[in-house]
Chains A and B, each alone.
Chain A
Amino acid sequence: MSNKIPNPFWNTDWLESQRQYLDAWQAFSQFMPKTPAMVNKDSNPLTDAMDYWWKSVSSSMPEDSTGFVTKMLEQGKVYYILSEQFCKLLKNINELSKTSEDWKAALNSQFEEMKNIFIQGGAKEGVQGMLGAWHMLPLDTLQRSISSATVLPGDFLEDLKPENLQKVTDKFLSIPGVGYTRESQEQAQEGIRLWNNYQKVSMEYNHAMNSVSLKALDTMRMKIIDMAEHGKEINSLREIYDLLVDCNEAAYAEFTRTEVFSDLYGRLTNALMAVKHHGRHIIDEIQSALNMPTRRGMNTLQKRQQEMRRENKDTSRKIENLLDEINTLKKLMDGNGSNKYRKPAVSAPSSKKNTVDKRKANRKTVRRKAAKKATAGKKSKKKGTKKDNVIVIKI
């Protein structure tokens, strides 16, 4: 155990220290105008200072690096929020327990309070600031990635919660479509039905992710107690941050390996796709009415184009194979006869005519001789056979 005091927060006002730090920071940058965030009492002074500073330097950064740096700054803010939350926590522990023996009870009480914030869904700015950006990632990703696919942006649906609109939508959906606009009324009703379904699944997903955060807090609390029992110390903010990351990663991994997660993630994606798909269908209807190209039509074109590409490549390959075969046959033919009789004609084009004439003359002579010998005796016929073979090959 270190030689430090039992609770290092016993006589320090964290918020006051933090304000002093911010004042010192601002002393370096008095020329900059105050933003609304800077005067917001509820905001974290350190994250405000970072925003303040980033605004002044971002214009001098190469464009390629700004997106990347933004990610670091976001993490820096998480770091600051974390520091604030834990300093508050430790200060509260100190207020609750002036003796070192009952700090565990105080710790439990503080963690329970943090968990309640999640359970009540009011952790927007505080504790969720540490975790929200992470545990919302899969859902946020889906929404942002497909927002360009329809007229509705990905986050359009976020604030329209079913609990607020259920009564309205139920009434609307129960009215049957009538008149010559019946079809479009039904389409609108179907859209709302799909969107309602998506919102329900989305809430279910958020609830599950909140449970992951609660589990992570429980794990963290137990780890802190375990560390105390084994005489281990936490000596830096970074160690607290790493502990938080480890606990959240462990809780997240445990949940995402279950069939419940697999089913929920599937339903969430499918529900969102159904909404977007329906939106695209409506856009297609409008474009079709305006005699404009539709997605449906483009799909058909692209499919046909791919089939044609496939056929072209197949045909090209067949032609190439045929050409290869022709070349092979040519070589075979050259190889069978030309060594003896054709090679000179090919290798010396200028002598070709003479060679051919000589061949023709030879052929005539041979034929004449062969005809004579055909009527001659057995001995002479044998001699003629050799020459007959030559003729056959040449023809």
Chain B
Amino acid sequence: MIPFQIRPDEILHEVNQFNAKLAQGINTLAEIGDIEVGVSRKAPVYQEDKMVLYRFEPRVKKPNPVPLLIVYALVNRPYMADLQDGRSMIQGLLNAGLDVYLIDWGYPDSTDRYLSLDDYINGYIDRCVDLICKEHKLKKINILGICQGGTFSLCYTALHPEKVKNLITTVTPVDFHTKDDLLSKMVRNIDVDLLVDTLGNIPGELLNMIYLSLKPFRLVGQKYMDLVNLLDDKEQAKNFMRMEKWIFDSPDQAGEAFKEFTRQFYQDNGLVKGTVKIGNQTVDLENITVPVLNIYAASDHLVPPDSSKALQGCVGSKDYTELEFPGGHIGIYVSGKAQKMIPPTVGKWLDKRT
């Protein structure tokens, strides 16, 4: 028996319903107003070029005496970690009694074309760490890296182990040549010198579309079909729009740093081989002897779990913990499940080691 059990009039009815929902949805969208992002109170404590270091207002009377610096990726914007009330990793970390700082890289323009990884890691990050240490009269602080920011945190800790007390990496690529890493396959044979020489900074739009092309049928098509069913609920529509805003809010990438990252990490897989050079120093993950908490997402399509889990075999730390989150690359920060799981775990893990 043919499995299609649907008559033309039923199809037309379905199309009609789809149109009705779409029309209703347009009304919802027209009334939705501004999409606000970022929920936790924060203040800038240091600014250099386009980079801003923020300190969040602690939510407990006596926070952990060792502050936590969050190093975000160069791609997309850091408000994803503090998206909205109840969907904010930072809110959770503050509730867990942590004193949280965050690096916001801003939007590089053509004057930042020659910013290198050395400028980012040994420059901006190091100066932020020094400033926090000075402010709190400490020699070491805790660092939490997000995605590419996690890779930067690993490099920083390997190069400046004396300034890091504990290291947390979240959905962080370490082995860039795992078999299911599509992003790596896409850039493996690109002449990155020619690319950067031609484009200068790499447009954020180009990166967005590359991410979409990892799962084009779902991310460019099916997702919007699902949205039509959400549009009769204003709050759900607003949540969707908030994520949409974040996904397409993508700064350009400083050409030089992009070139170095693509070549050394994606093409040469230098982090696991120990060949990555930041400035004049070689990054050896064996130098990381501080406690490490490595959190990865089981269904991550951008950073495959195997890529993150490779860290265990590379670091010199004897206190290494792994945590698998049952979700995707973004869900680890914004899903309801993540709010219950990730920040409390980080808080307890740090409390034990402070």
Chain A contacts to B: CB under 8 angstroms: 1-2, 4, 6-9, 12, 14, 17-18, 21, 46, 50, 53, 57, 60-62, 65, 68-69, 71-76, 78-80, 83, 86-87, 90, 93, 100, 103, 107, 133-135, 137-138, 141-142, 144-146, 149, 224, 227-228, 231-238, 240-242, 245, 248-249, 252-253, 256-257, 259, 261-263, 265-267, 269-270, 273-274, 276-277, 280, 298-299, 302-303, 305-307, 309-310, 313, 317
Contacts and interface: CB of A to CB of B under 8 A. Distances in A.
Contact of B5 (A234, A253, A303): A234
Nearest to B12: A21
Contact of A257 (B15, B182, B216): B182
A14 B8 contact: yes
Interface string B192-220: 00110111100101100110110111101
Contacts of A79: 15, 18, 225
Contacts of A18: 8, 12
Contacts of B23: 53, 57
B189 A263 contact: yes
Interface string B148-180: 000000000000000000000000000000011
A138 B218 CA distance: 14
Contact of A72 (B14, B197, B228): B228
Nearest to A216: B217
B6 A72 contact: no
A262 B177 CA distance: 12
A76 B206 contact: no
Interface of B: 1-12, 14-16, 18-19, 22-23, 25-26, 29-30, 32, 49, 110-115, 119, 123, 127, 179-180, 182, 185-186, 188-191, 194-195, 197-200, 203, 205-206, 209-210, 212-213, 215-218, 220-222, 224-225, 227-228, 241, 244, 256
A277 B198 contact: yes
The majority secondary structure among interface residues of chain B is: helix
5 contacts: A17-B8, A72-B22, A134-B217, A141-B209, A146-B206
A61 B198 contact: no
Given A273-B191, A280-B198, A6 B203 contact: no
Given A60-B30, A245-B222, A8 B14 contact: no
A62 B35 CA distance: 13
Contacts, number: 217
Q: Which 7 A-B pairs have the closest CB atoms?
A: A266-B189, A141-B209, A306-B114, A145-B206, A8-B7, A75-B224, A262-B185
A256 B182 contact: yes
A86 B110 CA distance: 49
Given A75-B221, A145-B203, A276-B198, 11 more contacts: A1-B1, A2-B5, A12-B9, A57-B26, A68-B241, A80-B15, A233-B4, A237-B14, A241-B225, A256-B182, A280-B198
Contacts of B189: 262-263, 265-267, 270
A236 B8 CA distance: 10
B333 to A, nearest CB: 22
A257 B198 contact: no
B221 A134 contact: yes
B8 A274 contact: no
B15 A8 contact: no
A205 B237 CA distance: 37
A233 B3 contact: yes
Contact of A302 (B10, B110, B228): B110
Contact of B25 (A72, A249, A266): A72
A77 to B, nearest CB: 11
Contacts of B8: 8-9, 12, 14, 17-18, 87
B2 A72 contact: no
Contacts of A72: 22, 25, 224, 227-228
A193 to B, nearest CB: 16
B22 A141 contact: no
Contacts of A12: 7-9
Contacts of B4: 7-8, 86, 90, 224, 233-234, 240
B103 to A, nearest CB: 16
The majority secondary structure among interface residues of chain A is: helix
Q: Which of B2, B11, B212, B213 has the most CB of A within 10 A?
A: B2
A83 B6 CA distance: 11
Contacts of A241: 222, 225
A242 B221 CA distance: 10
A60 B241 CA distance: 19
Contacts of B199: 146, 149, 273
A231 B216 CA distance: 31
A270 B191 contact: yes
Contact of A145 (B10, B205, B222, B227): B205
A64 to B, nearest CB: 8
Given A100-B2, A233-B5, A266 B110 contact: no
B129 to A, nearest CB: 13
Nearest to A142: B206
A133 B180 contact: no
Contact of B216 (A17, A235, A252, A262): A252
A234 B14 CA distance: 14
Contact of B1 (A6, A277, A313): A6
A257 B179 contact: yes
B1 A228 contact: yes
A190 to B, nearest CB: 15
Contacts of A80: 15
A248 B213 CA distance: 12
Contacts of B114: 302-303, 305-307
A351 B3 CA distance: 104
Contacts of A263: 189
Q: Which of A61, A245, A267 has the most CB of B within 10 A?
A: A245
A347 B16 CA distance: 87
A149 B198 contact: yes
A137 B216 contact: yes
B194 A273 contact: yes
Contacts of A252: 216-217
A238 to B, nearest CB: 7
A134 B197 contact: no
B6 A270 contact: no
Contacts of A313: 123, 127
